[in-house]
């Protein structure tokens, strides 16, 4: 949940728990409806996973992405219920959400000490999903997914490539995608945004800065609040002033989790 700190300020502990439990209930239901396994709750966050033996291997990315899109659908009703839940009409915090999804090998099983164990997943894929969740802050997005996830779920969702990045704690670049909606359900404006952004990203990688700037500005003409377009425009301006070397490959290194 984005904005939980400001949400909890000024609230009593019992009031905070009421709001948080309602949020976690709504979002957990979306996961269970798509056959996900809830691993744990980490404050205002939910960690969940899909895969054998609970799901077929080829279904796991699709189910995870559809669960995330369902969660996003249910965010609006949750926001509308906040005045009743909190007992206030004014000064409501801006509640949003960030989701990261990665697909790959993990270790799953009972992990812990000889006293206490929990059934959980561990591995590089888990860490990548966590980093993608945090990367939403850099791009103003809500659902970022790995390249493998995007490829495996492409029959079920609409996505756009956002960037090639190196996340904190990793050395290999990752192509990162944003889940935009369910397959066949994009409105014309979002479809236009996706296509113009793709053109801008291609120009950016080719160091055609003027063309990239024009395409990203065109994206903002379609969707004035589009975070990725704003982020890439700022980066183009930086690279114009500080041109990359001849070995530049379009990969950007994030400096925060």
CATH code, domain with 174 = 3.30.70.1230
* Local structure of residue 249 (DSSP, 8 states): -
For residues 164 and 173, is the Cβ–Cβ distance under 8 A?
yes
Domain check: are 253 and 233 in the same one?
yes
Which of 186, 204, 221 corresponds to the end of one domain?
A: 186
| 218 and 197 both lie in a single domain | yes
134 and 201 both lie in a single domain: no
Q: How many domains does one find in the chain?
A: 2
Cα-to-chain-centroid distance, residue 216: 20
Both structure tokens of 74: 């249910």
pLDDT tens series, the chain, 257 aa: 988 777 777 778 888 888 899 999 999 999 999 999 999 999 899 999 999 888 898 999 999 999 999 999 999 999 888 888 877 767 677 789 999 999 999 999 898 898 998 889 999 999 999 999 999 999 999 999 999 999 999 999 999 999 999 998 888 899 999 999 999 999 999 999 999 999 999 999 999 999 999 999 999 999 999 999 999 999 999 999 999 988 889 999 988 87
Residues 194 and 155 in one domain: no
Beta-bridge partner residues of 96: 2
CA-CA distance, 237 to 140, in Å (whole number)?
18
Same domain, 242 and 170: no
Residues 123 and 225 in one domain: no
Q: Which of 128, 154, 186 is the last residue of a domain?
A: 186
Strands 143-146 and 45-49: unpaired
pLDDT at 14: 83
Distances (CA, A) of 33 to 52, 67, 202, 232: 17, 8, 37, 36
Verify that 214 and 161 share a domain, yes or no. no
- What is each CA distance from 168 to 6, 119, 140, 165, 183, in whole angstroms? 26, 26, 18, 10, 31
**How many Å apart are CA 51 and CA 105, to the nearest integer?**
10
Pick the last residue of a domain from 135, 170, 186: 186
* Nearest-10 crossing angle of helices 124-139, 227-241: 80
Alpha-carbon span 192 to 142, nearest angstrom: 19
Q: Are residues 138 and 181 in the same domain?
A: yes
- Which residue range(s) make up the domain with 182? 4-186
Q: Are residues 111 and 131 in the same domain?
A: yes
């Amino acid at each position: 949940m984005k904005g939980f700190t400001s949400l909890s300020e000024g609230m009593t502990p019992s009031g905070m728990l009421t709001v948080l439990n309602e949020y976690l209930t709504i979002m957990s239901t979306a996961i269970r409806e798509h056959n996900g396994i809830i691993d744990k709750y980490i404050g205002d966050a939910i960690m969940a996973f899909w895969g054998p033996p609970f799901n077929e291997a080829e279904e796991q990315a699709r189910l995870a992405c559809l669960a995330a899109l369902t969660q996003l659908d249910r965010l609006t009703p949750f926001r509308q219920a906040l005045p009743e839940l909190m007992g206030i009409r004014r000064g409501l915090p801006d509640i949003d959400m960030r989701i990261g999804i990665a697909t790959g090998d993990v270790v799953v099983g009972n992990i812990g000490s000889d006293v206490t164990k929990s059934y959980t997943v561990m591995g590089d894929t888990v860490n990548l999903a966590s980093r993608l969740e945090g990367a939403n802050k850099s791009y103003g997005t809500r659902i970022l997914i790995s390249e493998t996830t995007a490829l495996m779920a492409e029959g079920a969702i609409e996505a756009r490539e956002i960037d090639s990045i190196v996340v904190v704690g990793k050395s290999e670049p990752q192509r990162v995608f944003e889940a935009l909606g369910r397959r066949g359900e994009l409105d014309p404006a979002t479809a236009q945004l996706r296509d113009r952004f793709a053109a801008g990203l291609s120009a950016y990688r080719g160091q055609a800065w003027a063309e990239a700037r024009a395409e990203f500005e065109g994206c903002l003409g379609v969707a004035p609040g589009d975070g990725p377009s704003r982020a890439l425009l700022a980066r183009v301006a930086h690279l114009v002033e500080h041109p990359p070397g001849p070995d530049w490959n379009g990969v950007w290194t994030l400096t925060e989790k």
